[in-house]
Amino acid sequence: MKILLSGNEAIAQGAIQAGCSFYAGYPITPQNEIIAYMAKHMAISSAGQAARKQLPRVFIQAESELAAINMVYGASAAGARAMTSSSSPGISLMQEGISYIAGAQLPAVIVNIMRGGPGLGNIAPAQSDYFQAVRGGGHGDYRLIVLAPASVQEAYDFTQTAFDLADKYRIPVMILGDGILGQMMEPVQLSSRKIKSPAVKSWALNGCRGRKPNVVKSFFLREGDLEKANLKRQKNYEIIKQQQARFEGLFLADAKMVLVAYGTMARIAKSAISRLRGAGKKVGLIRPISLWPFPQQPFNLKNKQVKYLVLEMSYGQMLEDVRLAVDGRNPVEFLGRSGGGVPSEEQIINQVKKIL
């Protein structure tokens, strides 16, 4: 069945479909539809939960983003599938909590529907939190898996994937979208996925009946202990890098120029590509879907003379990851706008013609 949803609603519905049993959030534009949808639907779903002997579904409007992310920490420690959502300034406030979640090896889903910055910025769409998302964001050596949907359908699908990956690797997973994706409406094919009983989490806190007490923590004061824990974490990241790099490639076989863009920007890039192809220009697309781990493999193209043009709604953040992946083998150009500006099809086409 297909229904019409906004990107924000699709994320919320995807979370419910994935068995999200705890949501805490604080209002901020442009993602308020998520908290409102969760308030409405988490409550309705609770009746059926008891009958299926599942954890209760909990919705809390927190007093701040600090409280929201720490509630997610607590809920996850208690074994729930936990999520929060916010937009750029709110995500900045959550960074300490995300670091603790990573440190305590807790699964969690965090949604960032990006707006313009820095500071209070504005409420227009942007992609300027890329560094914060893919480099960890808070203190300490840690990573999040970061998924970037480019359609409302993907917003719905990736949110479900996010919960599965979070549980599989015991790691926070971020859905990174922007205000356009959050607000636009598209038909969504609902999945027939059954809401699963929560996985047995032997490390979770639920009272130590019949077992030794569990402790959820990120504090390792004794010499050598933290390094050991961090090395284990890094090993997990290496496995994730091998298993979870995701991307979409388009017209890469004959491309003389490859546009690199994610999320909403990739949608605009696709429109530009179809017009350029119509005019005989051999242009392709690499759309990273996982921003961390960043897909390396598509940047080893057969055409050794290929040129790259990175497109972002920022002044060049993913650009650095593309340059690392290309490793000096090919020229990497950039077109970006930020603070509410979005590179248009015409701007992209003009830039491509200039370079090609």
Residue 346 in contact with other proteins, rule: CB under 8 A: no
Q: How far is the CB of 90 from other proteins (least distance, A)?
A: 15
Residue 197 in contact with other proteins, rule: CB under 8 A: no
How many residues can be counted in the chain?
356
78 or 199, CB closer to other proteins?
Answer: 78
Identify the sign of the CA torsion 156, 61, 95, 227. Answer: negative
Stretch that binds other proteins, among 213-221, 282-290, 294-302, 306-314 (CB under 8 A): 213-221
Out of 189, 191, 197, 206, the residue judged to bind other proteins by CB under 8 A: 206
Alpha-carbon gap, residue 65 to 96, rounded angstroms: 11
Q: How far is the CB of 118 from other proteins (least distance, A)?
A: 24
Distances in Å between the alpha carbon of 257 and those of 85, 206, 352?
A: 36, 55, 8
Alpha-carbon gap, residue 135 to 119, rounded angstroms: 19
Give the residues across from 186 on adjacent strands: 5
Out of 29, 95, 218, 330, the residue judged to bind other proteins by CB under 8 A: 218
User: Which letter, b or e, does each residue of 119-156 get, where b requires 16 or more Cβ atoms within 10 Å of its Cβ?
Assistant: eebebbbbbbbbebbbebbbeeebbbbbbbbbbbbbbb
Residue 97 in contact with other proteins, rule: CB under 8 A: yes
Out of 183, 214, 236, 347, the residue judged to bind other proteins by CB under 8 A: 214
Out of 54, 96, 184, 241, the residue judged to bind other proteins by CB under 8 A: 96
Residue 27 in contact with other proteins, rule: CB under 8 A: no
Query: HEC string of 294-315?
Result: CCCHHHCCCCCCCEEEEEECCC
Q: How far is the CB of 287 from other proteins (least distance, A)?
A: 36
Out of 1, 52, 192, 210, the residue judged to bind other proteins by CB under 8 A: 210
Out of 53, 221, 223, 224, the residue judged to bind other proteins by CB under 8 A: 221
Residue 205 in contact with other proteins, rule: CB under 8 A: yes
Q: What is the β-pairing status of strands 247-250 and 283-288?
A: antiparallel
Stretch that binds other proteins, among 76-84, 226-234, 314-322, 333-341 (CB under 8 A): 76-84
# of chain residues touching other proteins (CB under 8 A): 42
Residue 308 in contact with other proteins, rule: CB under 8 A: no
Give the full edge-to-edge strand order of the sheet including 247-250.
Answer: 247-250, 283-288, 257-260, 307-312, 332-336
3-state secondary structure of 298: helix
Binding site for other proteins (CB under 8 A): 21-22, 24, 55-56, 58, 60, 62-64, 66-68, 70-75, 77-80, 82, 96-97, 100, 104, 205-210, 213-219, 221
